[in-house]
Amino acid sequence: MSRVQLRPDPTGHFGAYGGRFVPETLMAPLDELARAYDRFSRKRPFRNRLRALLSDYAGRPTPVYFAERLTEHLGGARIFLKREDLLHTGAHKLNNAIGQALLAQAMGKQRVIAETGAGQHGVASATAAALLGLECCIYMGKEDTVRQHLNVQRMKLLGAEVVAVETGSQTLKDAVNESLRDWVTNVRDTHYILGSVLGPDPYPRMVRDFHRVIGDEAKRQLKRAAKTPLPDIAIACVGGGSNAIGLFTAFLDDRKVRLIGVEAGGRGDGLGEHAARFSGGSLGVLHGTRTYILQDDDGQIASTHSVSAGLDYPAIGPEHALLRDEKRIEYVKATDAEAIAAFHMLAATEGILPALESSHALAHVSKIAPQLPRKHVILVNLSGRGDKDVESVLKWDQEHGDDSSGTGGGGAEPAAAAVAEHPAARKWRSRAPQSESSESSRDQPKTTKGAEA
């Protein structure tokens, strides 16, 4: 039996991590949800309906694409992209949103709620709700509604109510808090579509299962695209960890495949300067699960920073914590500067604007690919498209001039500088408009929190 089938244990724990650390008022709703998921996920009509919607509506399977010009630019290993950015709504989030919305419908719920940081999960949830005729309310930190204004409007156009949360830090963790309060109050007719492999059981395993289609597809597709049964390396960005676990699950039992998760290295190593939970985090409990958390010496949740709204979250999924302990997955980090440079690199070489979340994974690819032989295959989960991040990238370019390596902001690592020196990337930046989008960004927050990955 595979490790995936054995986890979590019956109490919802992944070793020392996970579980249900929630008020008594939430235990009954979680029991109901776990029973419903276990029952309906085994029923053929439910599975067939989900499979049909993912295929005919969402656009699965998404392709595995050989990034030939990127490979030539970096040299070394061949790079293949799992194109989740081509999924309807522009990111992997729809896999889970449709799955949970179908489950809510099967449970007789008429209303769904969701939290969102970068807005991709909110858009996906609003889309699934519109598709199935469910009432929808999205909670989003007020700071994030400013930064991701386009996604706010998309959610509203899809019929969702968007509530700007003004308590606390006005970011994702506060949006999760408000979502939980709503769920406790309205549990009779409401389902909470949590957006990552976080929270109390059954959410980490349920979200993982809805996303494992990513890796299952890629494993089959790579045989045709790369003429090899397995990649040498599979790599994905890690915020909460949904896109990464969706890719990695298919390869966990293939020990020859090296798995790498890339966290947000932000702008420095100090607490509050990054969102890399395995670089300064410690064991704690947040939003109902026990895992690694960025917190101060008093156990207070620390501020985090990333140029990517979807990676800027203080906790990581509990299964990731266990897999890190087991040394099955390596966790590294990429800085803001490296992610921005990788964004430009993919745009210039392949004509693809990646999400800034995915750009962190690409940044690490730029470090390791040149060191590997041509026969090696790197599979990257391109978890989302970068439309939502264009203003953030333009703002960065304006603040740092033509230096996407970020040398004016405390020093960037050599890999990022090398990527930034790609001539097409420099040309792209020199054409970037410096008009009203840059001016309006001055009033936008410099950081937002998110578990959108």
- Residues catalogued as catalytic: 93, 115, 383
Spatial separation of the C-alpha atoms in residues 71 and 66, rounded to whole Å: 8
What residues contact residue 214 under an 8 Å CB cut-off, 6+ apart? 62, 82, 84, 92, 95, 243, 246, 247, 250, 381
User: Do residues 305 and 272 lie in contact, with contact meaning Cβ atoms separated by under 8 Å?
Assistant: yes
Helix (H, G, I), strand (E, B) or coil at 282: strand
Q: How many Å is the Cα radius of gyration of the chain?
A: 20
The token duo for 45 is 């009509």
Letter string b/e over residues 253-289, b meaning 16 or more CB atoms within 10 A of that residue's CB: eeeebbbbbbbbbbbeeeebbbbbbbbbbeebebbbb
Letter string b/e over residues 424-442, b meaning 16 or more CB atoms within 10 A of that residue's CB: ebeebbeebeeeeebeebe
Among 400, 381, 169, CA closest to 267: 400
Spatial separation of the C-alpha atoms in residues 269 and 255, rounded to whole Å: 31
The token duo for 419 is 């990527």
Q: 52: exposed, middle or buried (C-beta count within 10 Å: 0-12, 13-18, 19+)?
A: exposed
The single-letter DSSP state of residue 303 is P
Angle CA 162–166–171, to nearest 5: 80
Q: For residue 446, how many other CB atoms are within 10 A of its CB? A: 12
